[in-house]
Structure 1
């Protein structure tokens, strides 16, 4: 009976939702580019506004979401071989090292290869996440806005050397029109409706692996529905 009721709800919801146009004020799988910046060990060592465990999990949610929904994604590093070191395994799980764009500039917008990759996607909305908020996120955010881009940044997938540094960077970006979101918000905004069966399992599997208490809740709920 539970399965029959659940199937009926999903079917009815699907008929309504898929007839609707995407909400223009929300992110969707086709309207933006994701840029993941400097998720590297050396940059993480000094991060203080969030625990490394939380940062790694949130980076995984963002990277996983972009892979599930086929988002154009650019992963950048800075001085990978000489200073900043390897990228988090939670990112390389979804994106191979060979495709990363390494640079010397603190502002990735000022790197010719990164800029070319961003503009080549043809998307005028970008989503940013990375280390550090006050340098490597503020730089491209302000640069992109000055060129007419719509900018989002994932606050809990960004880290900095202190809470104050992170918070002031967030304030600065918001003041010029950037939009703060969180990693889980990013994932769920892309999924938007549990009736979207083609991404349902991948989304819930990602949350169960990296989503903390929420992931345990999904595991529990799915198990209970079986009985």
Structure 2
């Protein structure tokens, strides 16, 4: 198993929008929000590239804007987020795929809502293009458990690695006594 490290990895967060997050009944909303905040805060704190995208933000009654916490954590990444206007597979949006490529990293940590609609396709598409992909399952969620489990199966069968927030951060940190550990530890225990 190839372990990811901070120097060769980008964080990619897909469609963590105020409305869309509420569709993810397989992950409790507070846990989902907590884990997205941890991933974004960790990436920002250790200087990892962070790519954000949203789908139809102007559909305020349904999808809505990205989580406001993401703007507070990473205002620069938030300002240049890719605002898709309906493209389901984010990787099919040329601006999003190019933003991911432009990170210069071969390893992608990805999370998105909903898993079955917004996460599966870009994860597999990035993998097919030659990137190594780990999906953080507890920063994702679907409308029902069957959809979630089918998503996990599809991604695993394609070669995407599945993980959790704490496991992913620990893999990237490698040593709690490091500078990255100083960033991560308060996020995980807070």
**What TM-score, normalized by structure 2, do the two folds share?**
0.91
Quick one: which of 86, 89, 99 aligns to 1:117?
Answer: 99
Note if contact 1:69-1:190 (Cα within 8 Å) is conserved in structure 2.
no
1:62 aligns with 39
Runs of 4+ residues over 3 Å off in structure 1? none
Quick one: which of 107, 112, 116 aligns to 1:134?
Answer: 116
Note if contact 1:75-1:100 (Cα within 8 Å) is conserved in structure 2.
yes
**Structure 1: segments with no counterpart, 5+ residues:** 1-23, 210-227
Deviates more, 1:115-124 or 1:69-78: 115-124
Structure 2 CA distance for partners of 1:188 and 1:136, relative to 1, 3 Å: same
The SS at the match of 2:12 is strand
The SS at the match of 1:185 is helix
How many residues were matched structurally?
Answer: 185
RMSD: 1.5
- Residues 1:206 and 2:183 aligned together: no
Which aligned pairs between 1:1-227 and structure 2 lie closer than 5 A? 25-83=2-60, 84-96=63-75, 97-103=78-84, 104-196=86-178, 198-209=179-190
CA distance in 1 between partners of 2:189 and 2:123 (Å) = 31
Q: Which has the higher helix share?
A: 1
**Structure 2: segments with no counterpart, 5+ residues:** none
* TM-superposed deviation, 1:153: 0.4
Note if contact 1:33-1:126 (Cα within 8 Å) is conserved in structure 2.
yes
* TM-superposed deviation, 1:123: 1.9
1:17 aligns with none
**What TM-score, normalized by structure 1, do the two folds share?**
0.77
* TM-superposed deviation, 1:100: 1.4
Structure 2 CA distance for partners of 1:31 and 1:53, relative to 1, 3 Å: same
